[in-house]
Amino acid sequence: MTEIVRSKAVLRDKVLAWKRAGEVVGVVPTMGALHEGHLSLVEAAQGCDRVIVTIFVNPKQFNNPSDLANYPRTEEDDARKLARFRVDVLYVPGPEEIYPDGFATSVSVSGLTDMLCGAHRPGHFDGVATVVTKLFTQTGADRAFFGEKDYQQLQVVRRLAADLDLGVEVVGCPTIREEDGLAMSSRNLLLSDRARVKAPALFTAMEAMAEGLRAGGDASDLRAEAERRLLANGFTEVDYLDLRATDGLRALERLEDGVPARLLAAAWLAGVRLIDNIAV
């Protein structure tokens, strides 16, 4: 069984010893409720000499208290799932290890965080950027592994790592999907059986929209059609369904020659906010 460390002091001693031996440290930051998507990150991290997986349900990135309260917490199961990998430490800090009394610092990445999820979840990316900066410094990671499923988050983390000279290589890994196309996410656990059956409609609508874009269609027309399909399939609200340039996430109305693009979406189904993105 993987060793669980809850104290940053204990973690620091281990990491210092690894660094002295010249070992490359990889980290997979998570909020737990691990699924095959997370495990693919742990798999990708196996090329590092040492692997740390972190589990911390970060209160600062939830803009809604009931969302935080309902977030699945499954530490024992998570530890069991990690047993098939080489994981040196499962770091599960308590809140005081991350946000000690009097904590007053926030890391804010401007520009990239004003749009998409940032526009719908005020403060969310400041919370993510702050905790990721703390996790990078506490783990002393040389490489950090993040899923492309949270595409905007990946861009934000890349930006902050570069801007703050954190010396971490941020590695993006492909989204892992269920057989019916639903992107794996800890939030899928919150879907009722009925809602779970409807959830793949998000990916299907995005695929159809991507096809229309490749055929030369306009994003606004195709978005309206995709929204109609989603609402007809039980979704209650679409926060966004946007065509964006892969680099910098500039909004696009149609595909442009030589500009790699992505379709990004967030939509509500039975009270659960699902996000997804695909390359177009």
Mind telling me the catalytic residues?
A: 38
Q: Is 176 in the site for ligand PAF (CB under 6 A)?
A: no
CB within 8 A of 139, min separation 6: which ones? 11, 15, 25, 27, 52, 54, 91
Q: Is 171 in the site for ligand PAF (CB under 6 A)?
A: no
201 touches 235 (CB < 8 A): yes
For ligand PAF, give the closer residue by CB, 58 or 175: 58
What x/- string results for residues 41 through 70 when contact with ligand PAF is judged by CB under 6 A?
-----------------x--x---------
To ligand PAF, the closest distance from the beta carbon of 132 in angstroms equals: 6
Q: Is 227 in the site for ligand PAF (CB under 6 A)?
A: no
To ligand PAF, the closest distance from the beta carbon of 153 in angstroms equals: 6
The residue from 82, 128, 274, 280 that contacts ligand PAF (CB under 6 A) is 128
To ligand PAF, the closest distance from the beta carbon of 28 in angstroms equals: 9
Site size for ligand PAF (CB under 6 A): 10
Residue 98 vs residues 87, 149, 175, 216, 239: alpha-carbon distances, Å:
21, 25, 28, 48, 31
Q: Is 31 in the site for ligand PAF (CB under 6 A)?
A: yes
What x/- string results for residues 69 through 98 when contact with ligand PAF is judged by CB under 6 A?
------------------------------
Helix (H) or strand (E) holding 166: none
Question: Using CA atoms, how far apart are residues 85 and 105, in angstroms rounded to an integer?
Answer: 35
Render 60-123 in DSSP notation, one character per residue. Answer: GG-SSHHHHHHS---HHHHHHHHTTS--SEEE---HHHHS-TT-------TTTTSSTHHHHSTT
